[in-house]
Amino acid sequence: MNIYHPVYKCMDKYAMQQLFKHLPFLDTAEYTDYYLNKSLSRFSHQPPEMFYLRYDLPELNTGITKNLNEQLMENLGFPSIDYALVFKHRLPQPIHIDGHSFVRQSSLNLPLIGYENTKMIFYNLKSKDEPCLHTDAFYFNEDSVEYNCELPGDNNWVLVNTSIPHRIINSDPQNPRITVCFRFKTNPTYEHLSNLIDKHLKC
Ligand SMILES: [Fe+2]
């Protein structure tokens, strides 16, 4: 896969390299079926005030997740998976940086369904001192950021830099976007994992 495909609109190639990277060597169909199967029944009711629903996958050491963990650790040198979440979005997200008590640096994501026409937009903070609302994440006002780059939603594995302000837009309330996300022990930076992927791709 050519990561410089023109569909990825970015201010420059360097910016894009700092924000997301695909893992074209990982299977998608089998993982998509498995995680949809595990999570869909958990998302039958979404209160109107909730802009997202989250389901924490309980078993990481069995079946396909065990295989994924082993593949990432043995072939790429990733730390082991710390936890896995499935998110359902039917409304646009506020602009945020991931993390609750501290910034979550990176996430390995696979959009499962409802990703058509969605985009992950990355922003630059206008100033490092921009205030944010810190609740279940670090939320920013639109006025405090400027557009940097966008990643169109598709059914492919992608490592994303979650320490940069971002949000998913264009979710369809009739066809919500569901994404499985893996977070790694030691909270590795995007740069660290991205370098490991590059090394693997060159082998
Ligand atoms: Fe996020």
Which tokens sit at 133?
């609302």
Task: Give the pLDDT confidence of 36-68 residue by residue, as tens digits.
Answer: 999 888 887 767 667 788 888 888 888 899 999
Distance 62 CA to ligand 1 centre (A): 26
Tell me how far the alpha carbon of residue 133 lies from the centroid of ligand 1, in angstroms.
14
Per-residue confidence (pLDDT) for residue 5, from 0 to 100: 41
Distance 99 CA to ligand 1 centre (A): 8
Distance CA 203, CA 200 (A): 5
Mean pLDDT of 62-82: 96
This prediction's pTM: 0.90
pLDDT number for residue 48: 66
- Cα 97 to ligand 1 centre (Å): 6
Q: For domain 13-202, which CATH number applies: 2.60.40.10, 3.40.50.720, 2.60.120.10, 3.60.21.10? A: 2.60.120.10
Distance 141 CA to ligand 1 centre (A): 15
- In the reported structure, the alpha carbon of residue 167 is separated from the centroid of ligand 1 by a whole-number distance in angstroms of 6
Cα of 203 to ligand 1 centre, how many Å?
31
**Interval between CA 54 and ligand 1 midpoint (Å):** 12
Cα torsion through 139, 169, 194, 127, rounded to 10: -40
Write out pLDDT tens, residues 123-161.
999 988 887 888 889 999 999 999 999 999 999 999 999
Band (181; pLDDT cuts 50, 70, 90): very high
Cα–ligand 1 centroid distance for 102 (angstroms)? 13
Q: Is 172 left (phi over 0), alpha (psi -120 to 50) or beta?
A: beta
Q: How far is the CA of 169 from the centre of ligand 1 (A)?
A: 12
Mean pLDDT of the chain: 89
Residues of 173-199 as b/e, b for ≥16 C-beta within 10 angstroms? eeebbbbbbbbbeeebebeebbebbee
Which range among 9-23, 147-161, 187-201 shows the weakest confidence by mean pLDDT?
Answer: 9-23
Which sequence spans correspond to the domains of the chain? 13-202
